[in-house]
């Protein structure tokens, strides 16, 4: 159980740092660039992030979270952590962030419509990313307390 909890805490902590970096650094920097350039850069980031190291944390966090909750017979803190990871990170990513990324990928940043899409994307994507950051941070703290 201890190794499993450490794996859940570690993968979730990695995601906390990643999401925090996007919220605190990447998205504010993109907001200062011309819309077409910013949108094109975000498209490249979205293509680049899907790699084995990212997927290890991104898929490892919810898998280990669920395992810790089940193996720990649904003890309160690990179970709340699992809900935060699965609901606040995985579900938000799948339901909100990925569809937004797909729409951005399908757009042409050089057009007025593409730049309009970017304007709404930047604000909405960042707000939902703040939620993913908070969910992962909360889960990481709960694992530490457990």
Give this prediction's pTM: 0.94
pLDDT per position as a tens digit, 112-131: 999 899 999 999 999 999 99
E strands, the chain, are none
Number of domains the chain is built from:
1
Q: How far apart are CA 54 and CA 56, in angstroms?
A: 5
Output the pLDDT for position 104: 98
Locate tokens 């939902």: which residue?
128
- Per-residue pLDDT at 1 exceeds 90: no
**What's the pLDDT band for 107 if we cut at 50, 70, 90?**
very high
Q: How far apart are CA 138 and CA 84, in angstroms?
A: 7
> What's the residue count for the chain?
146
Which range of residues forms the domain containing residue 132? 2-145
């Amino acid at each position: 159980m201890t190794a499993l909890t450490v794996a859940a805490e570690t993968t979730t902590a990695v995601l906390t740092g990643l999401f925090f970096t996007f919220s605190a650094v990447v998205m504010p920097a993109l907001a200062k660039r011309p819309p077409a350039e910013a949108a094109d850069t975000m498209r490249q980031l979205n293509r680049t992030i899907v790699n084995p190291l990212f997927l290890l944390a991104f898929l490892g966090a919810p898998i280990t979270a669920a395992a810790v909750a089940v193996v720990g017979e649904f003890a309160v803190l690990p179970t709340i952590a699992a809900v935060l990871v699965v609901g606040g990170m995985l579900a938000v990513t799948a339901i909100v962030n990925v569809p937004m990324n797909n729409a951005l990928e399908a757009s042409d940043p050089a057009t007025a419509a593409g730049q309009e899409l970017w304007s709404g994307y930047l604000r909405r994507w960042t707000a939902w990313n703040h939620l993913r950051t908070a969910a992962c941070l909360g889960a990481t703290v709960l694992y530490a307390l457990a």
